[in-house]
Structure 1
Amino acid sequence: MGGSQGSDSQSATAPSPQELSASLDQIIATLENSDQRQSLLEHLKQLRDATAADTKQEGGSGGLLGALAQSFSSLETDGLDNPIRYWSTRADQAGEDISTLVSNHQQWPRIFFELVWVTALWIGVTLLVATLWRWAVRQLGLPWHLPAEPTTWTLIRHIVRRVVPLAIGFVAALMTVHQVATGTVGITLAMVAAYATLCGAVFSAICEIVFSLFGSGHRHAALRILRRRGARWLFVLGALVALGDAANAEALVEPLGEGVTTFLSLIANVCAASLLGIFVLVFRRPIRHLMRNRPYSQRQERRATTELIRVFSRIWHIPILVMVAVSLIAMIMSAEDSRSAFFRAVVTAGLMIATLVVTGLIHRRGANVRENPSSEYMARLARFGFTLAHLASWVIFAELAMRVWGSSLWAVGASAGIGQQIAKGVLGLGVTFLLAWLVWILADTAIKHALLRSSRRHGRRVNASARAQTITPLLRNTVFVTIAVIAVIIALANLGVNVTPLLAGAGVIGLAVGFGAQTLVQDLITGLFILIEDSLAIDDFVNLGTHMGTVEALSIRTVKLRDLDGIVHIIPFSQIQGIQNYSREFGIALLRIRIAHHLKIDEAIEIVREIADELRNDPMMRHHIWSALEVQGIESFDAGAAILRVRMRTAPIMQWDVARAFNLRLKQRFDEQGIDLAMPRMSVVMEQSTVSAGSAGSREPVTAPGTPDPQ
């Protein structure tokens, strides 16, 4: 029956010979016709591209790692071609314009002559005006250099001295050029050089004046460094900015060509941005001192402003460096206008300044909370909240900055495709680690509070830190490892990694370790219960059966013990059968005193009480004795002496010191009163007896008491 069904289905689906022959004829006719053949090829290519796109989209569902790999591959194929193509195009255009200028050999002498005489005219007029100004200053007896705290007229004279000679020379050269000739290459180059030099001098003078406005307070050293070392940097920076702006002027584009001027403008702007970044790094500390070292009166009267300026002075260089980096990336990596890129970089730097100020104030507020915490929970939760505030500030900055540059984090995350996958993966990782951190804060603080409450409940305030030092690392490490493992597993799942084999492998490894290390597991479990029950802790004096000494350290499976001879013993927890701890709550100084036979017992008790009272009043011992002497009576008789038993409650592990001090004072008192210590006594009594017959009527001599028996 099954075979008949299979044959029926094959016959039903198999084409007939007529249909097959018609299909082959149609394919042959299509391939013979060139138009139809080309149309078929186009349809096949479209089908191939669609299939490849579907495959790529399906392959991008491998989590965050797959999305990042796909985005990197697209960046390698598409992202690096644009800047290379842009710069190669600009370089080719500039090369064509330069080759055109070089090919015209007849104009070289004229260009050189015009360049020389215009430059000479400009320099000559500038030097003449500067010389006349110097002579006038000497005649009037005015200061030549700018003082530390200049007046308004001094600043005006400084501007005139630095700028006016160059401005007069530039105006004279410009007027002469307009009268003689315009539009030639030599004259244009000379005027561009004069213009860039003038702008550099103006920019340097303005910056120096701005620096001089901050000359009060403890700022003289920083101001001197900026005047001596920073003037040249600022001059070159202003000249490069002016050159980049002048290179786009129509007066320079017409004689030199658009390719040369555009390439020159890009190079000048890149050099100016790079020089600005270097200047910020070199003079970061002097400018910070100018900002924060205000006069004392201003710092006292305006504390809020002072705090804000102090925060800004620490991070003022960061937004400028970001602005420089963004400008360079925009100018190098894209074909965007350098002016637009610079404007957007300035806006981005402003946003970063605001963000840094906000985060600085948040940090200050968090520091104040940490200095005066109401509780451990509140302090750590406040720290977590301030961290979230920092993170939110930077996320808002990233969103606003991307909007300035024509994009948006929200739009990237909401769009379908790679951006959405990356956004989900990053958001999942962030939420996972934040929740893990919050759980760790709650668990760690709960462990500390539980240990402290347990120590106080048992009346061991002195040893609370020792117990915490003993058990806290073990519990904290266990909880931390557990939280970290769970967080890592969830993070790997967000990254697109299949964690099922990892979990299975971890289970197998755990079983293997459990069966192969039973003694180790026994040590761990026994030690865990000993630590939880607080049977012993660091600095306790204990007797573990085989060894007695002070506990110096505890690990997860062993205890480190130092005995009275200074020998260190490492004992596994599984070998401990019992624990005698002498360091808990209090100690008992138990004394057994032998009373001499000639001393009355009441007198002996009185002497013992007096010694105990003296010992309790001793400055060195009174803090270790916690109770009065307790006379427990005559315990026994030994070798003709009564054994008096007394005891006192003492501080933990101080019972032996108290007993030694008591015995010392007792011996000294006996020596003062001439009382001998109780020595062993023996009395021998011989009874009279009869002897055997033959010796009747005879008697043995009787020995005196204490005489040795001759037998």
Structure 2
Amino acid sequence: MCLMLGVGSFNVMAADASAASAAQSSAPADPAPAAEPAQPEILVKGGLLGAISSSIDSVQDKLDLDGNLLDSWRLRADRAADELDTLVNKPLARSPWSIISDFLILSVVWIAAFLLLNRIATFIVGRVSRRRLLIKRERVKGVLSYVLPFTIPAVICLPLTLYVSHFMSPSIGRALALCLAYSTSSGIFSSSILMSVIVLFNSGHKRTAVRVIRGYAPHPLFVIGFLAALSDALTSPQISRQFGGNVTTSVAAFTGLMASVMFCIVVIRMRRPVAHLIRNRSLSARLARPALQQTLKIFSSLWHLPILLMILVSAVNLIGAGEDSQEALRCALLTTVLLIGTVFLSTLFQHMFKPAEVHTGRVYKERLLSLLHAVLRIALAVGFIELLGRIWGFSLFEFAQRNALGKVISDSLSSIGLIFLVTWLLWVVMDTAIQEALKPPTTNRSSRQPSTRVKTILPLLRNAIKIILVVICTITTMANLGINVAPLLAGAGVVGLAIGFGSQQLVQDVITGLFIIIEDTISIGDWVVLDSGHAGTVESLTIRTLRLRDGKGFVHPVPFGQIKAVTNQSRQFAYAFFSFQFTYDSDVDSATSLIREAGQAISDDFLLASKLQGPLEVFGLDRMDMNGIVITAQFRTSSGGQYAVSRAFNDKLKRLVDKSTDVRFAQTYPQLIMSPHNGPMLPMEEGDEQQPLPGKASVVNKDGSESPA
């Protein structure tokens, strides 16, 4: 958006400049036409998208550079062809062989001198490297291996070649040889100096990066230096007089562009090794200055951008599409300084708003500080774009205040930004409040834990708030973009109404679930029994369904609309009820004492004490039947704890009764009653009707044996 704003600003500035020139050339007798105020209304049609579309449509009309640039290069090519034709057909004062001999003599002088000096320097480096002083100093040996065999011979060979050329008369061969000697020496000199600097970093963990750079960069750096020096040499007056100004200018532009392209490739290929050299420091240095380390880390990821910008400016000036080269280079340097300053400010903000350990009560502060950090980064980006525009000749704020197009774009962008900021702020506050309400306390043991009702309702509320904020933000953003949202809202209303009528069961599920959640009938973690036959632990609740996991591990999603009655066995407390039947000859007091003793043992068990909410309540003799006496008792336990308490109590009482001599559990015995017709009756329990059985009658004794009646 900011880029499009800048393009629109440049368009309007060009339009204003052309309008001013047209006004100066026109006669002053005619006042301003009345149709001018109506033109901005066409630009602002369609909101932000319409304004940007109008700006893009007028780019080619406002920046008419392509045709002029192609025409200038076409004219230069025609003139260069004429100059080459003149150079070929012009009679020479000297023979071609003498011109070739001049070129060969100077070339042989340079090559011979360089090879001789290179061999001597290589021999010296080999001898010096064996010295005890340099055996363990790899960086010194690396620098000597570049400076002595390459840098010094390149510096010496060029003046030597120039000295020999003074004894020759001016010719094309002499000029071409000097040009190549200068270019080759410059390429060797620049590449060797750069590699010497790289070798100085050859220590510690930087060795890998240095090895990668030394393996790839020397030859491309030599070619770049050669092409750049050749482009510079071809623009000299001596070479221009020999070959022609248009020919040398065209070749210089071509070689300069080739050097720029290769330099871009080298920078992109070497960005990771060079970044490794920049940010990799010793542990003590990193711990001593963490802010500097963070700055170097960020700068290492951006170091190639200023260089690529400088290369781009140079390439634009080479093809002639830019303004004055000095002004363009000045703007490029200021842009580089601005980029570096922005990076340092961004690093400073990141260090200031670095997230620390979040303590209780500081969660809101940390979240709001993160929001403030994001706002400052956005403001920094806007300020960078504004200053960058002023460096290159346009201003976003002036563009936004001066015409209708800028006002539409700026108002729309500011409205959208404000909408996002308010939405983000609301979400941060509400989400933090919900997360803090769901978080169990960690500092004070007596603090109240979040209830199951809170754990059930708040996640649903959080999702609902998120959906509402996203929908509102989307609709308002679309409206500010110039999209007519009225048909969308009407269509959404119709679709919602159709869904409401077509899915009544869904609506019933949602409404029933809403009331179940609000009334806290069911919560996550409860053990419930539904009227549909499902029973299990509640794992999750949505706005429509209930998710149960039964005792076998099976999952049952049940819609709320199918729930008519529910039994919740996990609320507040439960009772572990006991009913024991003893024989008539058992002592009631002894049986009651054994029950109390078993209850006391359960209360003393530290594993079961947490499940109890009171002592054992013995109700005494509850009833008597034909099988024995019945004594009842109960424990009040926490919800879900009655099962473990019942199992432990039954086991304890069984062991106590087995050891007692005057207390026995009663057993149910079937009884056979003889009928008047000498036929046995069915075994009769209490309250059953007698039914005769054919066959012999028998009586079951107390010990379980049978005897004839």
**TM-score for the superposition, normalised by structure 2:** 0.79
Q: How does 1:147-546 map to 2 (within 5 A)?
A: 149=137, 155=143, 158-182=146-170, 184-321=171-308, 323-324=310-311, 334-337=321-324, 340-369=327-356, 374-450=361-437, 470-546=456-532
Deviations 1:96-120 (A, max 9, x none): 3144214533569466554443323
Deviation at 1:451, TM superposition (A): 5.3
**8 Å contact from structure 1 (residues 149, 212) kept in 2:** no
Tell me the distance in 2 between the aligned counterparts of 1:265 and 1:152: 38
CA contact (8 A) 1:685 1:705 kept: no
Report if aligned partners of 1:66, 1:496 keep a CA contact under 8 Å in 2: yes
**More displaced stretch, 381-390 vs 234-243:** 234-243
- Going from structure 1 to structure 2, the CA distance change for 1:480 and 1:76 (only over 3 Å counts) comes to farther
Q: Distance in 1 between matches of 2:81 and 2:530?
A: 95
Supply the distance in 1 between the matched residues of 2:274 and 2:597 (Cα, whole angstroms). Answer: 79
Aligned partners of 2:134 and 2:141 also within 8 Å: no
Deviation at 1:124, TM superposition (A): 1.9
In the aligned structure 2, how far is the partner of 1:569 from the partner of 1:446?
32
Deviation per CA, 1:623-674, whole angstroms, max 9, x where unpaired? 4344432323344444453333322233432211221222223223333436
Tell me which residue corresponds to 2:118. Answer: 130
| Aligned equivalent of 1:33 | none
Q: 1:555 and 1:657 mapped to 2: Cα distance?
A: 31
1:476 maps to a residue whose letter is R
- 1:66 match: 50
Q: Residues 488 and 306 (structure 1 numbering): CA distance in 2 closer, same or farther, change over 3 Å?
A: closer
CA distance, structure 2, for counterparts of residue 219 and residue 372 of structure 1: 40
> Which string of whole-angstrom CA distances, capped at 9 and with x for unpartnered residues, describes residues 655-705 of structure 1?
11221222223223333436532224799999xxxxxxxxxxxxxxxxx99
| 2:579 matches 1:596 | no
Aligned with 2:523: secondary structure? Answer: coil
Counting only pairs closer than 5 Å after superposition, residues 92-131 of structure 1 correspond to structure 2 as 92-106=75-89, 109=96, 113-131=101-119
- Structure 2 unmatched ranges of 5 or more: 1-25, 675-698
SS in 2 for 1:305: helix
Contact 1:217 1:293 (8 Å CA) reproduced: no
Determine if the alignment matches structure 1 residue 581 to structure 2 residue 564: no
> Does 2:536 align with 1:549?
yes
Q: What displacement does 1:65 show?
A: 0.9
What is the CA deviation profile of residues 215-262 of structure 1, one whole-angstrom value per residue up to 9, with x for unaligned ones?
343322222222232222332333333334334333333334443344
Letter in 2 for 1:519: Q
Cα distance in 2 for residues equivalent to 1:374 and 1:277: 52
Judge conservation of contact 1:542–1:549 (CA < 8 Å) in 2. yes
Instruction: For 1:168 and 1:281, locate their aligned partners in 2 and report how far apart those are by CA, in whole Å.
Output: 33
Cα distance in 2 for residues equivalent to 1:414 and 1:215: 55
Q: Helix, strand or coil: the match of 2:65?
A: helix
| Partner residue in 2 for 1:610 | 597
For structure 1, which segment, 370-379 or 534-543, has the greater mean C-alpha deviation from structure 2 after superposition? 370-379
Equivalent-residue separation in structure 2 for 1:190 and 1:146 (angstroms): 40
Once residues 197 and 241 of structure 1 are traced to their aligned partners in structure 2, the CA distance between those partners, rounded to angstroms, is 10
AA partner of residue 654 (structure 1): G
Q: 1:664 to 1:137 in 2, by over 3 A?
A: closer
**What is the CA–CA distance in structure 2 between the aligned matches of 1:673 and 1:505, rounded to whole Å?**
82
SS in structure 2 of the partner of residue 86 of structure 1: helix
Distance, in Å, in 2 between the alignment partners of 1:544 and 1:333 is 83
User: Structure 1 vs Structure 2: percent identity of aligned residues?
Assistant: 34
Conserved in 2, the CA contact under 8 Å of 1:636 and 1:643?
A: yes
Distance in 1 between residues matched to 2:224 and 2:279, nearest whole Å: 25
Unpaired stretches in structure 1, ≥5 consecutive residues:
1-41, 687-703
Query: In the aligned structure 2, how far is the partner of 1:629 from the partner of 1:306?
Result: 69
Q: Distance in 1 between matches of 2:348 and 2:50?
A: 39
TM-aligned CA distance change 1:566 to 1:166, over 3 Å: closer
* Count of aligned residue pairs for this structure pair: 643
More displaced 10-residue stretch of structure 1: 303-312 or 661-670: 303-312
TM-score (norm 1): 0.79
CA displacement at 1:69 relative to structure 2: 0.7
Q: Tell me the distance in 1 between the aligned counterparts of 2:608 and 2:374.
A: 53
> CA RMSD, aligned part only?
4.1
Q: Secondary structure at the match of 2:331?
A: helix
Q: Which residue identity does 2:232 align to in structure 1?
A: D
User: For residues 482 and 256 of structure 2, what CA distance do their matches in structure 1 show?
Assistant: 44
Match of 2:645 in 1: 658
The offset of 1:166, in angstroms, is: 1.5
Matched AA of 2:154: L
Q: Which segment is superposed worse, 587-596 or 153-162?
A: 153-162
Residue 495 and residue 307 in structure 1: after superposition, are their counterparts in 2 closer, same or farther (change >3 A)? closer
Structure 1 residue 550 displacement after superposition? 1.6
State the shift of 1:338 in Å: 5.3
Give 1:160 deviation, angstroms. Answer: 3.6
Measure how far apart 1:574 and its partner are.
2.2
Q: Deviations over 1:347-401 (max 9, x none)?
A: 3233223322322343344342465675332222111111111111211211222
Q: Which residue of the partner structure matches residue 9 of structure 2? A: none
> How has the CA–CA distance of structure 1 residues 82 and 522 changed in structure 2, closer, same or farther, with 3 Å as cutoff?
same
User: What is the Cα deviation at residue 327 of structure 1?
Assistant: 5.6
Which amino acid counterpart does residue 644 of structure 2 have in structure 1? D
Alpha-carbon offset, residue 336 of structure 1 = 3.1
Question: Is this contact kept in 1: 2:573–2:637, CA < 8 A?
Answer: yes
Q: How far off is 1:72 after superposition?
A: 0.9
Look up the SS of the partner of 1:561 in the other structure: strand
Is the 8 Å Cα contact of residues 206 and 276 (structure 2) preserved in structure 1? yes
Contact 1:670 1:676 in 2 (8 A): yes
Code of the residue aligned with 2:117 in structure 1: it is: V
Q: Counterpart of 1:86?
A: 69
Describe the shift of the 1:646–1:242 C-alpha distance in structure 2 as closer, same or farther (beyond 3 A). farther
Deviations 1:190-212 (A, max 9, x none): 32332222222222222223223
> Residue type matched to 2:83 in 1?
T
Q: In 2, Cα distance between the equivalents of 1:614 and 1:235?
A: 93
C-alpha distance in 2, partners of 1:137/1:223? 20
User: Could you tell which deviates more after superposition, 515-524 or 396-405?
Assistant: 515-524
Q: Return the alpha-carbon distance in structure 2 between the equivalents of residues 500 and 163 of structure 1.
A: 74
Q: Give the whole-Å Cα distance in 1 for the aligned partners of 2:320 and 2:398.
A: 23
In 1: Cα distance, 2:179 partner to 2:360 partner: 64
Kindly state the Cα deviation for residue 557 of structure 1 after the two structures are TM-superposed.
Answer: 0.6
1:157, CA displacement in angstroms? 7.4
1:185 to partner: Cα distance: 4.0
> Aligned partners of 2:45, 2:313: CA distance in 1, in Å?
32
**Aligned counterpart in structure 2 of residue 673 of structure 1, from 638, 660, 663:** 660
